[in-house]
Amino acid sequence: QIETMMKDGVHLSQIAVLVRAGFQTREFEERFIAIGLPYRVVGARFYERAEIRDAVAYLRLIAQPSDDLAFERIINTPKRGLGTASLQAVHIQARASDKPLLAAAIDLVQTEELRPAARNTLHSFVQDIKRWRDLAGSVHQGDLAKMVLDESGYTKMWQLDKSPDAEGRLENLTELINAMQDFDSLQGFLEHIALVTDGDADPEHGEVTLMTLHAAKGLEFDAVFLPGWEEGVFPSQRTMDENGAVGLEEERRLAYVGITRARHDLFISFANSRRIHGQWQSSIPSRFVQELPRENIIEDLAQGMGLGRVSAPQLGDNGSNGFGGFAVGGYGAGWRRMEARRAQPAEGGWEPANNKTEFTIGDRVFHQKFGMGNILTIDGDKLLIAFDKAGHKKVVSGFVSKP
């Protein structure tokens, strides 16, 4: 849709993707990078957020023990009681022995240079790194990441934190673990992070804006995308659990804010299923979708995904009472297909769609994980593709599409 808008002359700076929670930006960031679409995040990009950088530093040190920057970032995160003198001793040992900081710490705990309490703390840390490193080859990296965050005390640190953004940071850590499920190795995931954090702005053509609904108050765009309209995501289950009916009304007003950010075109979508802790779980469309007036739904765009296009100016004319006055109408074909499938028990888990598109050598195609590329060879339903950034990969045709 965004590429079509660009062809129609819509400037990227007039397009926004508004999400309920910050963790939802990751998928869009990675997709935009994969297809080369310039974007900006109001607030920090996903992999630049402090808690993500901390978690990734743990993983980097496990994968590469000589990574001194990672060691320095996590040695006292969470607080372990290692003071300045103890950390200076590690640096002195590293310079004297010409070794990385972790190796120097391993040597140092075998001496009496440190006080007993500091020596025991540092010994526990290096032993944890060694144990996690030994497990890296036999445990899936997503499970390893959860284990590291839990056993290091990092997750508990945020669970005990009473600041308003603590819950969002925990959601981001969960999303990081979800992101790791797509990769076959820890090293592959770390290489992917290096790739997606190396994006450049494109001031000439502008950038799509990614932000939360809270940050969007007072702003307007020609076209707005509102993804993730599912029960539990939006409205937020946590908000409803904590504040009941009052919380639900707050969420409804936030939905109205999102809708009225669009001057011309508004796209609302909900996923049929989401992966949570490595498991695919069915999703139910948000009650706010049900409250949309049927006469304002222009067209059903995507089979099975519940993606619809809404006439934003007409919705905006309903005043500031949110959805309260909206009539509950019928649903489009996409909704009915989804409801019919949901009523049937799932069999065999998630399967990729059967893409019957005929490909030819040289075709330009898109892959969700590897981005854009050109087909080199075709062997039945198997394609050898030269991806722009990921190199040569063999993939099944059902997982690629023509842009």
Is 348 inside a domain boundary? no
97 contacts: CB under 8 Å, gap ≥ 6: 103, 104, 107
Is 357 inside a domain boundary? no
Note whether 355 and 398 are within 8 A (CB).
Answer: yes
Are 81 and 32 part of one and the same domain? no
Are 152 and 180 part of one and the same domain? yes
Is 57 inside a domain boundary? yes
CATH of the domain at 39: 3.40.50.300
Other Cβ atoms closer than 10 A to 78: 14
Report residue 300's pLDDT band, with 50, 70 and 90 as the boundaries.
low
Question: What confidence tens digit (pLDDT) does each residue in 146-176 have?
Answer: 999 999 999 999 999 989 889 999 999 999 9
CATH of the domain at 148: 1.10.486.10
Strand pairing partners for 373?
Answer: 365, 387
**Mean pLDDT of the 199-212 span:** 73
Are 254 and 276 part of one and the same domain? yes
Question: What confidence tens digit (pLDDT) does each residue in 379-402 have?
Answer: 887 789 998 877 888 877 777 888
Is 199 inside a domain boundary? no
- DSSP three-state, residue 235: coil
Are 325 and 255 part of one and the same domain? yes
Are 124 and 230 part of one and the same domain? no
Q: What integer pLDDT is reported at residue 277 of this predicted model?
A: 61
Are 106 and 224 part of one and the same domain? no
Are 218 and 336 part of one and the same domain? yes
Distance CA 220, CA 265 (A): 11
Q: How many structural domains does the chain have?
A: 3
Other Cβ atoms closer than 10 A to 244: 10
Question: What confidence tens digit (pLDDT) does each residue in 135-148 have?
Answer: 998 888 889 999 99
Q: What integer pLDDT is reported at residue 317 of this predicted model?
A: 34
Is 356 inside a domain boundary? no
The 3 state secondary structure assigned to 18-53 is EECCHHHHHHHHHHHHHHCCCEEECCCCHHHCHHHH
- State the pTM of this model: 0.61
Are 298 and 253 part of one and the same domain? yes
In percent, how much of the chain has pLDDT > 70? 81
Are 291 and 235 part of one and the same domain? yes
Are 170 and 246 part of one and the same domain? no
Is 109 inside a domain boundary? yes
Are 69 and 87 part of one and the same domain? yes
Domain span at residue 103 reads 48-192
Other Cβ atoms closer than 10 A to 41: 21
**Mean pLDDT of the 304-326 span:** 36
Is 6 inside a domain boundary? yes
113 contacts: CB under 8 Å, gap ≥ 6: 89, 93
Is 198 inside a domain boundary? no
262 contacts: CB under 8 Å, gap ≥ 6: 220, 221, 222, 223, 224, 312, 316
The residue out of 192, 220, 245 marking a domain boundary is 192
Are 115 and 233 part of one and the same domain? no
Cα torsion 225, 256, 324, 296 to 10°: value is -40
- As to burial, measured by CB atoms within 10 angstroms (0-12 exposed, 13-18 middle, 19+ buried), residue 85 is exposed
Question: What confidence tens digit (pLDDT) does each residue in 73-95 have?
Answer: 999 999 998 999 999 999 999 99
